[in-house]
Structure 1
Amino acid sequence: MRFVLAIVAFVVAAVMIVAGIAQRTVFAPPTHIEAGTSVSGDPRYVVVDGSVLNAHPGQQTLTVTGAPDGAKQVVAYGRTADVKAWLGDQKYVEVGYRTATGKLTTKNVTPKPGTKDEGAADEGAADGSTATPSPAATPSASAGAASAGAASGSTSGDAAKTAGPNPAGSDLWLEEFDGEAAQVTRMNIPDDVSVIVASDGTKAAPSRVTVTWPVDSSTPWAFPLIIGGIVLLLIGIALYLWGLYAHRRSRGPRRKSGPKMPKLPKAPKYKPTAMIETTSRGRRSTRRARVIIPAALAGVLALTGCTAGTGAATTPTKTATPLATEAPDAKDQLPPAVTVPQLERIVKRVSESAAQADAQASPDLAKVRFTGPALQLREANYAIRAKKSDEPALPAIPASPIVLSLPQATDAWPRTVAAVIETPKDAKGTAQAPIAITMVQETPRDNYQVEYAVSLEPKAKVPNLAPASIGSAVVPPDSKLLALPPQKVAAAYGDILMNGDKSQYAKLFSAEGDTLRTQVGADWKAKQKAAVPATASLEFTSQTGAGTDVAMATNDSGAIVWTDLQESQVLKVVEAGAEVSAGATAAALTGVASSKTGIESTFGYQLAFYVPPAGSDAKITLLGFSQGMIAAKQL
């Protein structure tokens, strides 16, 4: 029997080991699924929709080849609506996926101005033209030429000669890969995100696109089968050795047996006598049995605690039913203008551009990433530093870390994003105030530009804001839901700087922690006027600057308001033959050190306020500011 069991163990072990090895070799599943296509016609842009990349589960790997210049190829992805908006009037090839065959398809798309995009073609559709959003404004001359050509109905040959926009370096993309890094990219994007493949806008895009998805090639039973087979093999060997040992032992010499023992006599059969009482049979005995059996059953039931007919055994137990709550529909929620990683990349680019412009004191370089009041102040600072060597430069824009992100929740343009960046310590180890910047993207093809850059007040308390993953709404400039409409905040604060506590708006604003009011407020202005000689006069006026009033909602129905205020300081000669000094800073802008008529200097104030909701007892608080001379002229 032991030999039989050993043979069975050997056979089963061999089957298990072979099956385990086969799962890892002969019958091993594929490690990936691959689908590719070649793009004909040398298009400048190729778009791969997110639904194509999600045709199979798992992380997608996109491989592009065949670019005319591998160093200029670009692979980027962003929200599908943003990709289509950036393309605008540009022709592109849309890559689809045919589920029946598992192959990629291509379709030429020619946008039509003024119509909604319907470029999401059915799988395997024939080449044709579909509609896309209206062409977006193009910041560059080359892109503008492309838009003009498309709007005027130019032929495809003429369009091919016109350079298209370059997608490289656009702030619109969630992630971007350039050059060799764009050949093989791994991503895991949702259905509402698309990938754009291109070169520099002048040359054709890569002609070969391949998408690869991973497949679960694990063999969970292979290792247990192999180990189990080995264990069973050892058991079979043990059984075989045991059987062999027992067999050899049974074949050894045997001792002869002695004479047989005599048989014992049989005992007489037992017969009951009449003296033994037999069990009575009849109706009485049956009746006793009927009584004893239920009594015994009742006792057993009593001992086990199970009594028939009790309400506890038949009454069902009530369980709590969870209340169904309706979650907000994600379709009704506008997406944030940027994600946090996207904002970090944008701020880093802004920091690098600002550092380059500040180092060369170049207004042209500053225009790349600055606009509005922020650009105006930097241009003036560059002009002053060119003639006044001891003039300090404006605070640099740090690259990181971002301690607060506040993107606008929108899918349209222009888009606004605010961020607070921690500033490193200066050369002496002194802590510096964080920088709060407000950036605006005018069109899909424009990059974000800094419109306001302020240093936060030491005691500034930023109110609760919406998380960066949701974004904030932009409050209209004339909103009456705030303690003061955003478009009136600058003028009201300017009146306070002129008149102090006598201003009609003094009760609306908090003076605590307002260092700008201490520096250039009514008391400071009074001292400046007192220091002017009798041969001259000094007057101050304020007006709202040309900058856009930006207001973003807070969680308490208030808003953070960025606004532009300008103050003019007019030093005028009032006595014939007298002369007034322009001052070193004004002299750098006017080119004159003194004047017999007068000097008018204009100062710009970039201001950030917290404005509470209407009806609140809270006051308008200055969160931060940046100020400096922006213009000067001789009267």
Structure 2
Amino acid sequence: MRFVLAIVAFVVAAVMIVAGIAQRTVFAPPTQLTASVTVPDDARYVVIAGSALNAHSGQQTLSVSGAPDVKSQVVAIGRTEDVTAWLGTEKYVAVGYDSAADKLTTRTVTPKASTGSTDATDTPTPTPTPTATAPAGGATEKTVAGPNPTGSDLWLEEYDGANAQVTRMSIPDGVSVLVASDGTKPAPSKILVTWPVDSSTPWAFPLIIGGLVLLVIGIALYLWGLYTHRKSRGPRRKSGPKMPKLPKAPKYKPSADVEVTSRGRRSTRRSRMIAPAVLVGALTLSGVGTGAAFADETPTPTPTPTSTPTSTSTAVPKPVNQLPPAVTVPQLERIIKRISVSAANADAKADPNLAKERFTGAALQLREANYAIRAKKADQAALPAIPSDPIVLSLPQSTDSWPRTVVAVIDMPKDAEGKDQAPQAITLVQDTPRDNYMVEYAVSLEPKAKVPNLAPASIGAAAVRPDSKLLALPPNQVAAAYGDVLMNGDDSKYASLFDSDGDTLRTAVGLPYKNERKSSLASTASLTFTNQVPANDTVAMATNDSGAIVWTDLLEFETIKVTEAGAEITLQPAGGATAALLGAPGSKTGVESTYSYQLAFYVPPAGSDAKITLLGFAQGLVAVKEVQ
């Protein structure tokens, strides 16, 4: 028997070991799934839909090849609506996925400029590339270059050059991938998407280990059986003398009153066995009959079925028409780093043309003036740099249209003397999908500024209309009202709306400062102050308490005129910023100096007892001219 068990153990062990090894070798599942497609050679833009990339689960690996210039190829990831908006009227090849055929598909899409819809055809046959009209004289037609996606702030992620050849990503359905070159050369023509497959074999290791254990058991059984078999074949001892027989017992004789139907011991033994069997059968029959009668008289009630309680779940209502934030936090960090590099380059060279790459509006005007002053006054300090990090607050606008606004507050490093600097709040505006974000306002926060509760960056805040009546003051009237306070102080009709506590700008250039300037002026000259709200758009973003943060700017004009013939105005300090912009130390008629104030306010909702608070500002001389 031990040999049989050993053989069975050997056979089962062999089957288990072979099965375990086969799972890791012959029957091993594939480690990945792939799908590829070839697009027309002259296609300049290829859009891979998120649904195609999510045809199989797992992280996607996108491989592109076939570009005429590897250095110019780019793989950009963005929201599907953003990618479509960036392409505009540009023709592109859309890559989808056919689940029935289990392969990638292509179709050429030619957007219509008039309606914004697309005219898609399922055939991959390319449409002729748009060409410029040939000039007179029979010159050769020249292909019109398309937009270059490289470096756009619109993308969530971007891979350029050799880094774009193999890209690992996890793309949700609402996101698409744009594959292109520089807008002039064709895009990579070969697209390969790879998905990982779970190739684990959880039973392989247990089968191999179990087979080895059974093999050891089989060997042990075999050795044990061999040992027992050899031991049983040894010499046997002869048996000793036979034991004496026991005396026979007297035969049993039944009495005369016992009736016996048969004779002999066999009949007696048979009668003893029959009696208990008959008794058990009788008891069994009687029990069955009794139970049947009990069942007829008192029927057992059938249990009434009860409904099984089920757990009910209330679905969390999703926001209706919830718009996405203009940028994500990683996207904003990348944008700020680009702006920081561009601003540092422009500031180092004092080049206004370089500043125009990333600055606009009041922020650009202040930097251009600073560059002009530094060109004539070497010791003039540069404006605060735009740091690249850390971003301590980000507030993107929740929108799917343009223009888009994003606000970021960045901690400033210590100055040259080791003193702390106020954080800088910058307002970024993107006018169109193909434009980069531009710095429209760059202000330093007030020391006592308390930023109200804002929406998280993952949701974004809604833009407030400039003429909204739901605030204590419409956003487009805040700058004019604050300018009146700077001119008239507490006598201004708007003074009660603004909080003067912690307003350092009001202390520096308010009514007391202006009165002091007038009193220190010679009697041969007059000094007047006026202000004006420029035509730049006011930016307002909603806060969680139904208020708004408002960014606006204000221009203040300081005009000094000569009141007596023969008198002359000498600008102080000599060789200062005013003289540098004017290009002269003084004037015989008069000088008008223009100061720009970039302002950030918190405006409470209408009916609130809170006051409008100045959160931060930036101010500086932007223009000087001689007046008659």
What TM-score range do you get, normalising by the shorter chain? 0.7 to 0.9
SS of the aligned residue for 2:97 comes to strand
Question: For 2:581, which of 576, 589, 592 is the aligned residue?
Answer: 589
Contact 1:546 / 1:564 at 8 angstroms: preserved in 2? no
TM-score of the aligned structures, taking structure 1 as reference length: 0.86
SS of the aligned residue for 1:628 comes to strand
Q: Where do 1:49-68 residues align within 5 Å?
A: 49-68=49-68
The 2-side partners of 1:529 and 1:225 are apart by: 98
Q: Which blocks of at least 5 consecutive residues in structure 2 are unaligned?
A: 258-282, 292-299
Question: For 1:482, which of 471, 479, 498 is the aligned residue?
Answer: 471
Structure 1 residues 395-417: Cα deviation after superposition (integer angstroms, max 9, x where no partner): 10010111111111111111111
SS of the aligned residue for 1:104 comes to strand
SS of the aligned residue for 1:109 comes to strand
Shift of 1:321: 5.2
Question: For 1:246, which of 193, 208, 228 is the aligned residue?
Answer: 228
Q: Where do 1:124-203 residues align within 5 Å?
A: 125-127=122-124, 161-203=143-185
Counterpart residue type for residue 126 of structure 1: T
**1:114 and 2:119 equivalent?**
no
Q: 1:317 to 1:265 in 2, by over 3 A?
A: farther
Q: 1:253 to 1:496 in 2, by over 3 A?
A: same
Counterpart residue type for residue 450 of structure 2: K
TM-score of the aligned structures, taking structure 2 as reference length: 0.87
Contact 2:359 / 2:440 at 8 angstroms: preserved in 1? yes
Give the match for residue 372 of structure 2: 383
The 2-side partners of 1:263 and 1:586 are apart by: 147
SS of the aligned residue for 2:216 comes to helix
**1:332 and 2:321 equivalent?**
yes
Contact 2:131 / 2:143 at 8 angstroms: preserved in 1? no
Shift of 1:547: 2.4
Shift of 1:242: 1.4
Q: Which blocks of at least 5 consecutive residues in structure 1 are unaligned?
A: 131-145, 275-285, 295-308
Q: 1:404 to 1:158 in 2, by over 3 A?
A: farther
Give the match for residue 402 of structure 2: 413
Give the match for residue 98 of structure 2: 98
Q: 1:359 to 1:38 in 2, by over 3 A?
A: same
Question: For 2:606, which of 593, 606, 614 is the aligned residue?
Answer: 614
Shift of 1:262: 3.9
Q: 1:237 to 1:118 in 2, by over 3 A?
A: farther
Q: 1:264 to 1:620 in 2, by over 3 A?
A: farther
The 1-side partners of 2:184 and 2:253 are apart by: 122
The 2-side partners of 1:373 and 1:406 are apart by: 20
Contact 1:372 / 1:546 at 8 angstroms: preserved in 2? no
**The structure with more radius of gyration:** 2
Q: Where do 1:459-478 residues align within 5 Å?
A: 459-478=448-467
The 2-side partners of 1:491 and 1:399 are apart by: 33
Give the match for residue 208 of structure 2: 226
Structure 1 residues 561-586: Cα deviation after superposition (integer angstroms, max 9, x where no partner): 00011111111111111111233111
TM-align CA RMSD: 2.8
Shift of 1:115: 2.2
Give the match for residue 133 of structure 1: none
SS of the aligned residue for 2:409 comes to strand
Shift of 1:96: 2.2
The 2-side partners of 1:340 and 1:270 are apart by: 110
State the aligned residue count. 580
Q: Where do 1:177-326 residues align within 5 Å?
A: 177-264=159-246, 322=312, 324-326=314-316
Structure 1 residues 252-295: Cα deviation after superposition (integer angstroms, max 9, x where no partner): 22333323434556778999999xxxxxxxxxxx9xx99xx99x
Give the match for residue 493 of structure 1: 482
Q: Using the TM superposition, name which of 577-586 and 73-82 deviates more.
A: 577-586
Give the match for residue 433 of structure 2: 444
Give the match for residue 137 of structure 1: none
The 1-side partners of 2:561 and 2:6 are apart by: 117
SS of the aligned residue for 2:357 comes to helix
The 2-side partners of 1:268 and 1:613 are apart by: 125
Q: 1:63 to 1:357 in 2, by over 3 A?
A: same
Give the match for residue 604 of structure 1: 596
Structure 1 residues 570-616: Cα deviation after superposition (integer angstroms, max 9, x where no partner): 11111111111233111111111111111110100000011110011
The 2-side partners of 1:614 and 1:188 are apart by: 45
Structure 1 residues 357-401: Cα deviation after superposition (integer angstroms, max 9, x where no partner): 000000000000000000000000100111111211111001011
Q: 1:262 to 1:423 in 2, by over 3 A?
A: farther
Structure 1 residues 327-368: Cα deviation after superposition (integer angstroms, max 9, x where no partner): 124x61111111111111001000000000000000000000
SS of the aligned residue for 1:468 comes to coil
Contact 2:40 / 2:126 at 8 angstroms: preserved in 1? no
Contact 1:166 / 1:200 at 8 angstroms: preserved in 2? yes
Counterpart residue type for residue 343 of structure 2: A
Structure 1 residues 468-513: Cα deviation after superposition (integer angstroms, max 9, x where no partner): 1111100000000001100010011111111111111111111111
Contact 1:106 / 1:127 at 8 angstroms: preserved in 2? yes
Give the match for residue 260 of structure 2: none
Give the match for residue 411 of structure 2: 422
Counterpart residue type for residue 476 of structure 1: R
Counterpart residue type for residue 321 of structure 2: D
The 2-side partners of 1:406 and 1:474 are apart by: 11
Q: 1:86 to 1:252 in 2, by over 3 A?
A: same
Q: 1:248 to 1:508 in 2, by over 3 A?
A: same
SS of the aligned residue for 1:85 comes to helix
Q: 1:263 to 1:597 in 2, by over 3 A?
A: farther
Give the match for residue 279 of structure 1: none
Shift of 1:228: 0.9
The 1-side partners of 2:252 and 2:472 are apart by: 118
Counterpart residue type for residue 28 of structure 1: A
The 1-side partners of 2:37 and 2:528 are apart by: 73
Shift of 1:197: 0.8
Question: For 2:442, which of 442, 453, 456 is the aligned residue?
Answer: 453
Q: Where do 1:337-352 residues align within 5 Å?
A: 337-352=326-341
Contact 2:328 / 2:458 at 8 angstroms: preserved in 1? yes
Question: For 1:521, which of 510, 518, 521 is the aligned residue?
Answer: 510
Contact 1:570 / 1:600 at 8 angstroms: preserved in 2? yes
Q: 1:158 to 1:506 in 2, by over 3 A?
A: farther
The 2-side partners of 1:621 and 1:61 are apart by: 51
The 1-side partners of 2:554 and 2:131 are apart by: 38
Question: For 2:625, which of 625, 630, 633 is the aligned residue?
Answer: 633
Shift of 1:518: 1.2
Give the match for residue 6 of structure 1: 6
Give the match for residue 272 of structure 2: none
Contact 1:551 / 1:562 at 8 angstroms: preserved in 2? yes
Q: Percent identity over the alignment? A: 69
SS of the aligned residue for 1:430 comes to coil
SS of the aligned residue for 1:209 comes to strand
Q: 1:161 to 1:323 in 2, by over 3 A?
A: closer
The 2-side partners of 1:404 and 1:444 are apart by: 24
Contact 1:109 / 1:128 at 8 angstroms: preserved in 2? no
SS of the aligned residue for 2:333 comes to helix
Counterpart residue type for residue 619 of structure 1: K
SS of the aligned residue for 2:425 comes to strand
The 2-side partners of 1:602 and 1:265 are apart by: 147
Q: 1:253 to 1:507 in 2, by over 3 A?
A: same
Give the match for residue 269 of structure 2: none
